[in-house]
Amino acid sequence: MNLKQPLLLLLLILLSTLGFTQTSKRDQVMSKLIIDNYTLAKNQYLYMMKQVPKDSLPQSYDKTTNKLISKDITWWCTGFYPGSLLYIFEQTHDETIKAEALRALKVIESNQTFTENHDLGFMMYCSYGNAYRLFKDEKYKQIIFRSAESLATRYRPKMKSIQSWNKNQYFNCPVIVDNMMNLEMLNWVSQHGGDPKYQAIAETHTNTTIQNHYRSDFSSFHVVDYDQETGKVLKKATHQGAANTSAWSRGQAWGLYGFIVMYRDTKNIKYLNFAKNIAKFILHHPNMPEDKVPYWDFDAGLQPLAKRDASAAAITASALMELGQFTTGKEKNEFINSGVKMMESLSSDAYLAKVGENGGFLIKHCVGALPLNSEIDVPLVYADYYLLEALKRYKDWYLNK
């Protein structure tokens, strides 16, 4: 008998057992984290909803005045509050949470015909998409269809992109990397009986984003400005980052998440490979902190004293949970374990609020737009949404599997 064979078999068994043990420990940690976070979320949002105005929705909290900050219904973030409530209801079955979610949906219903920006996906799919998933109400489906129609009005054929902001003092016809997040709604409508043109627009926009937004190291500019009549690129900028050449952390998260969605919806391997390269840029960046909660910009000065952006970690964690579904071996383990580390950090006392604190929001220490002196070191509604989504994804896809 060849003695090497049983030794090799024993080694494989030991490695397999070690992997199983590590996964089991991870599941134990995550099982508690999911329960604790959703319990906290229910209590926080029951507290928050008592302060929410009838005609606007929560965005942030001002700790100096102890006031909840709410925004008009056409603000790009208004879908995250009902979306978060629906995630909480799904996990806790709390009927008060459900009732508030349904009320908030009614508040933003008219956004289905809003055409003044590109964020209909955030506004209407994070909200009504989750509502239709849970309740299968045909009215919700039709609202999503109408929202996709409104979003598609911003497609500019000569640019082969969906215009983001309207013309302003800085840009002629800007397209921002965040726009990758709004393509999921277009795909969904095409795949659920709607016009195939919506997914075609999403794919064309994605290909243009690859061509014009990304650098050779797979970091992204924030904004590409176009001449709408010719499709020519006028300039590239990072409006909310440290410099035009820098890697604004939330922008990197938006891009990662968006390319994973595009792979899921099209099975175009080009999008999966692109997403993996973005993930590796983020995770292997020399300025990524040990707790994996990024600075507001990977190239921000004054590290390690620079502000963190917990929202970037929440978005990235959720994206990595899905990327783990489409990868294998060492890549899969790296992506899942990194996402878990982000969720653990966000669930620590350093970032997670206690009941009655933080205006009712879960996560502290987010940054909206530091160069514009806007929303610095505050809670932001979308950070909560993507943490709740990341936790749900781990539970659905990995826990005890």
178 counts as catalytic: yes
Same domain assignment for residues 291 and 377: yes
Residue 40 lies in a domain: yes
Question: Of the ranges 150-159, 261-270, 392-401, which one carries the lowest mean pLDDT score?
Answer: 392-401
Residue 19 lies in a domain: no
At residue 4, does pLDDT exceed 80? Answer: no
Residue 169 lies in a domain: no
Residue 266 lies in a domain: no
C-alpha–C-alpha distance, residues 342 and 347, integer Å: 9
- Residue 174 bridge partners (DSSP): 225
Residue 371 lies in a domain: yes
Q: What is the mean pLDDT of the chain?
A: 95
Same domain assignment for residues 146 and 33: no
Residue 199 has φ and ψ, to the nearest 5°, of -70, -35
Same domain assignment for residues 46 and 74: no
Same domain assignment for residues 143 and 34: no
Q: Are 43 and 92 in contact (CB under 8 A)?
A: no
C-alpha–C-alpha distance, residues 5 and 9, integer Å: 6
C-alpha–C-alpha distance, residues 124 and 137, integer Å: 15
Residue 162 has φ and ψ, to the nearest 5°, of -90, 125
Which domain-ending residue is among 138, 153, 168?
Answer: 153
Same domain assignment for residues 287 and 398: yes
Average pLDDT of span 198-215: 98
Share of the chain above pLDDT 90, in %: 93
Which domain-ending residue is among 105, 126, 153?
Answer: 153
Same domain assignment for residues 51 and 87: no
Beta-carbon contacts of 141 under 8 Å, excluding residues fewer than 6 positions away, are: 132, 192
Same domain assignment for residues 287 and 391: yes
Q: Each residue of 8-17: pLDDT tens digit?
A: 555 555 545 5
Same domain assignment for residues 47 and 118: no
Same domain assignment for residues 283 and 391: yes
Alpha helices in 192-268 (DSSP H): 197-213, 249-266
Candidates 36, 55, 119, 291; catalytic one: 119
Same domain assignment for residues 108 and 140: yes
Q: Each residue of 90-136: pLDDT tens digit?
A: 999 999 999 999 999 999 999 999 999 999 999 999 999 999 999 99
- Residue 71 bridge partners (DSSP): 57
Q: What is the pLDDT of residue 21?
A: 66
Q: What is the pLDDT of residue 401?
A: 79
Question: Of the ranges 12-26, 73-87, 288-302, which one carries the lowest mean pLDDT score?
Answer: 12-26
Matching residue, tokens 């994206």? 319
Taking the model in full, what pTM does it have?
0.94
Peptide bond preceding 379: is omega within 30 degrees of 0, i.e. cis?
A: no
Q: What is the pLDDT of residue 2?
A: 53
Give me the CATH number covering residue 302: 1.50.10.10
Residue 315 lies in a domain: yes
Which domain-ending residue is among 111, 127, 153?
Answer: 153
Q: Each residue of 173-187: pLDDT tens digit?
A: 999 999 999 999 999
Residue 149 lies in a domain: yes
Length, in residues, of the chain: 401
Same domain assignment for residues 147 and 83: yes
Candidates 55, 62, 178, 396; catalytic one: 178
- For residue 265 the two structure tokens come to 């919806």
Q: Which residue has the higher pLDDT, 401 or 39?
A: 39
Q: Each residue of 264-321: pLDDT tens digit?
A: 999 999 999 999 999 999 999 999 999 999 999 999 988 889 999 999 999 999 999 9
Domain count of the chain? 2
The parent domain of residue 284 ranges over 26-55+277-401
At residue 394, does pLDDT exceed 70? Answer: yes
Same domain assignment for residues 331 and 374: yes
At residue 230, does pLDDT exceed 50? Answer: yes
